Amino acid sequence: MVKFSREYDASIIPEWKPAFVDYKGLKKLIKKIKVARRDADDSSAGDSSPETAAGVESVGYGGGFSMLDPVRALAARFAPRVQATSEDEESGDSGEFVRSTDKHEREFLEKADEELEKVNTFYAAQEAELLGRGEALIDQLRILADVKRILDDHAATRHARGSLLGRSRSMRAVAPPSPALSNSGRYLLSGLATPQSMSDGSVELQQAQMTEGAAVADEVMAALERNGVSFVGLPGKKEGSGRGGRLQLPSTVRIDIPASNPGRAALKVWEELVNVLRKDGAAAFVHRKKVQHAEKNIRDAFMALYRGLELLKKFSSLNVKAFTKILKKFVKVSEQQRATDLFSQKSKRSSFSTSNKVLQLSDEVESLFLKNFAGNDRMVAMKYLNPQRPKNTHMITFLVGLFT
């Protein structure tokens, strides 16, 4: 059977190794307690034989010794131990930790208390960070859904308008020309085909696309702001609209993206999307690629969050098991049952042992990923969230050794 210390060392997360409980250090203190108690027992056994011999000699021969000398020696020997026991009982009644008179036992309890505080502090910090990341990514998922809806509605409106325009053009092409305009038709067509008229139509088309794109961009920006995103720059103004006017592209807007934001990559994509919409509202292909890029960034961020949650759950379970094992060893060696019970209760009340926020967030992340990125297929979702590492084989090592 593999010893727990070896299993514990193999399971420790390398990046978090200093935050784990120092199991080996606590075991060394227990060994010191064991050695000290064994030495004390040996010394007490060695001291008892001379006293007994002296007592027998005084009783047998009565040479200058009193009959009460052995009784006095026994009373002097056991008096300090009784007094120490009474002091321990008084400290236990006051609700404080029972401190052993042995310095090694007291050193173990102090060291274990420091390790418990270290583990608890690290767990609380990691838990707060992961909860913040989860909240930010859930907001990003809402933004993704809102942007998809806005762009889909915009595409559907453009498609319906294009179909209506195409139908009206086909009806005009089928209708016969008016007699009044038959003689002057070529002059009318030649007038529409002049470079000046084509230039004016192009300007008007670009102006219409920019106006339409700006309206969609405003909707996207409103969706972002509803989910806590703030903009640094203000939208630019359009000048010179109409025939012969001069188009001026709007200024670039920027999103305030904190360095610690887990959805930083997705926010950068939304910033690019807003600027593209405000400059060219007709680039549907570009818009679709931006949304796909943002969706991939959010999916990767959810995968990283889920793995972080799994690591923190492993950190919690390993430390709980380590404290349980080391306290069992301590109570066998020191027989300080009350001190062990009090410390065990304190460990069980700690946040790394009792908090269920990480478990709840892990379940929520799994559910959201299953719905939004895996098509409600659990096998596909777990393939992304919890990929199985390939098993290490020793075939190459075997072949190299064989040929060597």
Mean pLDDT in residue range 293-312: 93
pLDDT > 70: percent of the chain: 63
Indicate whether 26 pLDDT > 90.
Answer: yes
Contacts of range 191-195, beta carbons closer than 8 Å, 24 or more positions apart: none
Q: Do residues 250 and 214 make contact, with C-beta atoms less than 8 angstroms apart?
A: yes
How many whole angstroms separate alpha carbon 385 and alpha carbon 105? 45
Instruction: Compare 83 and 35 and report the one with higher pLDDT.
Output: 35
**367 within some domain:** yes
Average pLDDT over residues 90-103: 47
1 occurs within a structural domain = no
Mean pLDDT, residues 155-170 taken together: 68
DSSP state for residue 230 in the 8-state scheme: -
Mean pLDDT across 373-389 = 86
Indicate if the pLDDT at residue 321 is higher than 90. yes
| 393 located within any domain | yes
The per-residue pLDDT for range 206-240, each reduced to its tens digit, is: 677 777 777 888 888 888 888 888 888 655 444 44
109: in domain? yes
What domain count does the chain have? 1
CB under 8 A, 24+ apart: contacts of 30-34: 30/108, 30/326, 30/329, 30/330, 30/333, 32/104, 32/107, 33/102, 33/104, 33/105, 33/108, 33/330, 33/333, 33/334, 34/333
Q: Could you tell me if residue 180 is inside a domain?
A: no
Residue 295 lies in a domain: no
- What the block records as the tokens of 286 is 């570009």
For the chain, the average pLDDT equals: 75
Residue 271 phi/psi, 5-degree rounding, is -60, -45
In a domain? residue 26: yes
Helices 284-334, 378-385: crossing angle, 10 deg rounding: 70
Q: Which domain holds residue 375?
A: 19-37+102-160+302-403
* pLDDT at position 57: 44
**46 occurs within a structural domain:** no
231 and 253 in contact (C-beta within 8 Å)?
yes
Q: Does the pTM exceed 0.85? A: no
- Of 194-198, 265-269, 308-312, 381-385, least confident by mean pLDDT is 194-198
State residue 22's pLDDT score.
95
Instruction: Show the tokens assigned to 231.
Output: 């903009």
